[in-house]
């Protein structure tokens, strides 16, 4: 359910932002970020692949979103371990109870890897690395802001 909602939101709201004509937040990856931490790695990857592919269909981007999502999902456990350290390994992690800095660094890292792979595949050309980096950085900042906003809104609802 959250899956379909996010795809539609992405297509009809966030893809129309086009700040400075090329910066688009990819807010839909909040789905990958917030998937339950105890869900098996294989499931995370499969769901991310489907999410990416459905965006590709709407966005006419071939398999770029899918590739970027699968990549982000694949390294998610490593990023989780890096960001939260021991509490992740003990399987006691609750997203809303983690320290803010750790949570922010986790979100930021997922966004950066996802966006980098996405734009790398979009340009498909190492000569244009600068464009790729530029687009990655600007879009990441925007995505980051939106995702933080969304997590804050939903957090306040729960308490």
Partner 1 sequence: MQQIINFLISYKNTLLFLLLFCISLIFTIESHSYHKSKFVSSANWLTGGIYNTLSGVDQYFRLKEDNKLLVEENLVLRKQLLEAQATLQEKGLETFRIADSIYELKAGRVVANRYSHLDNYVLVNKGKKDSIQVDFGVITQKGIVGIVEQTAQKHSRVISILNSQIAVNVKLKKSNHFGTLTWDGKNPQIIQVEDIPRLAEVKKGDTITTEGRSLIFPPNIPVGKVVSFDLEPGKNYYTINVHLFNDMTNLNYVYFINNKQKTDLQSLE
| Interacting residues with partner 1 (CB under 8 A) | 8, 12, 15, 18, 21-24, 41-42, 45-46, 49, 52-53, 56-64, 66-67, 70-71, 73-74, 121-124, 131
Taking CA atoms, 118 is separated from 16, 38, 53, 106, 148, in Å, by 18, 26, 13, 18, 21
Q: Which is nearer to partner 1, 96 or 125 (CB)?
A: 125
CB atoms within 10 A of CB 42: 9
Q: Which is nearer to partner 1, 70 or 107 (CB)?
A: 70
Smallest distance from partner 1 to CB 117, Å: 10
Q: Which is nearer to partner 1, 3 or 22 (CB)?
A: 22
Smallest distance from partner 1 to CB 43, Å: 10
CA-to-CA distance for 40 and 95, rounded, in angstroms?
17
Alpha-carbon torsion (68, 146, 25, 6), positive or negative: positive
Determine contact, residues 123/115, Cβ cutoff 8 Å: no
Which residues, in sequence order, are CB contacts of 141 under 8 Å at separation 6+? none
Smallest distance from partner 1 to CB 123, Å: 6
CA-to-CA distance for 55 and 33, rounded, in angstroms?
17
Q: Which is nearer to partner 1, 111 or 132 (CB)?
A: 132
Q: Which is nearer to partner 1, 107 or 121 (CB)?
A: 121
Smallest distance from partner 1 to CB 96, Å: 27
Smallest distance from partner 1 to CB 157, Å: 27
């Amino acid at each position: 359910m959250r899956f379909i909602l996010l795809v539609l939101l992405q297509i009809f709201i966030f893809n129309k932002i086009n700040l400075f004509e090329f910066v688009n937040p990819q807010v839909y990856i909040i789905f990958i970020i917030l998937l339950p931490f105890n869900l098996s790695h294989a499931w995370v990857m499969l769901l991310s692949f489907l999410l990416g592919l459905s965006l590709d269909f709407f966005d006419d981007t071939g398999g770029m979103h899918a590739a970027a999502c699968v990549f982000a999902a694949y390294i998610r456990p490593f990023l989780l371990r890096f960001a939260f350290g021991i509490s992740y390994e003990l399987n006691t992690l609750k997203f809303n109870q983690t320290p803010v800095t750790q949570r922010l660094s986790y979100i930021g890292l997922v966004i950066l890897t996802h966006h980098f792979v996405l734009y790398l595949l979009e340009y498909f050309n190492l000569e244009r690395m600068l464009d790729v980096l530029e687009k990655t950085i600007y879009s990441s900042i925007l995505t980051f802001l939106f995702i933080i906003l969304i997590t804050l809104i939903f957090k306040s609802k729960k308490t």
